[in-house]
Amino acid sequence: MTSNCYILWDEESRRCVVIDPASEKSLREIAFIKEVGFSLDYILLTHEHTDHNWGVNALVDEYPKAKVVCHRVCAENMGMESTVYFRLYYDNPSYSYSVKQVDIKLENEISYLDWDKKTLVIEHTPGHSMGSVCIVLDDKIFTGDTIMPFKPYINKRNGLKDCYIKSVAYMHDKYADKGMTIYPGHGDRYIYE
């Protein structure tokens, strides 16, 4: 699927995190992790849409110790989303997919995930979907489909425009003047202004 997947790693510890694996078999992600000799700690999902989680099962099969992390609402809504994508993108209504496990379900508006001497700040940003989050690490924000470089899409099945507007305003007020780089779910990265 045409979504961005990100891999965060630490050169010293050789540990990594994958954000939003969207390719069914995660071939590029697995090849990269193996090639550089990393161990995978977490698979983080910015929201429940299949174009951001289709590769989770392949990564879990390859790295069974990796923990899948998302907001509780994302975990609850994931099963309802999968068949829509395959009808739209692949004209294959008989295909089904579901993420086989979620190990950590975040409950709070702001959650903290300790990873390799770093802390990932995970902000619940409902709107595009009700399980959406943005992930902040140092001067980077991984926004999924909450903040993108083009006109937003509000999912009518489980998104709300009013929530989306509030989430974007909240993130803008908190981070826009800090020189952060946005890593969106679609499109190129850019400096948040």
The neighbouring-strand residues paired with 137 are 140
Question: What's 161's DSSP letter?
Answer: H
Confidence band for 86, pLDDT divided at 50, 70 and 90: low
Whether 193 maps to a domain, the answer reads no
Q: Which domain holds residue 16?
A: 6-187
Is residue 176, in this structure, part of any structural domain at all? yes
User: Which tops the pLDDT comparison, 4 or 51?
Assistant: 4
The answer to which of 144-153, 165-174, 175-184 has the lowest mean pLDDT is 144-153
Residue 155: pLDDT over 80: no
Residues whose CB falls within 8 Å of the CB of residue 131, separated by 6 or more in sequence, listed in order: 47, 48, 70, 71, 72, 73, 74, 75, 76, 77, 78, 158
In-domain check, residue 126: yes
What predicted TM-score, i.e. pTM, was given to this entire model?
A: 0.93
Which residue would you say has higher pLDDT here, 63 or 157?
Answer: 63
148 contact partners, CB below 8 Å, separation of at least 6: 184, 185, 186, 187
Domain assignment present for 32: yes
Report the pLDDT averaged over residues 17-35.
95
Phi, psi of 90, rounded to the nearest 5 degrees? -125, 0
Asked if the structure places residue 128 within a domain, the reply is: yes
DSSP three-state, residue 100: coil
Report how far residue 69's alpha carbon sits from residue 41's, in angstroms, rounded to the nearest whole number.
10
Q: Which two tokens stand for residue 116?
A: 């390799």
**What end-to-end distance do the CA atoms of the chain give, in Å?**
28
- d(CA 148, CA 154) in angstroms, rounded, equals 12
Residue 192 located in a structural domain: no
Do the domain assignments include residue 1? no
- 141-178 core/surface letters (b: 16 or more CB in 10 A; e: else): bbbbbbbbeeeeebbeebbbeebbeebbebbeeebeee
pLDDT score at 70: 98
Evaluate whether residue 13 is within a structural domain. yes
Residue 127: pLDDT above 90?
yes
CATH no. for residue 84? 3.60.15.10
For the chain, give the mean pLDDT. Answer: 91
Counted domains in the chain: 1
Average pLDDT of span 72-97: 72
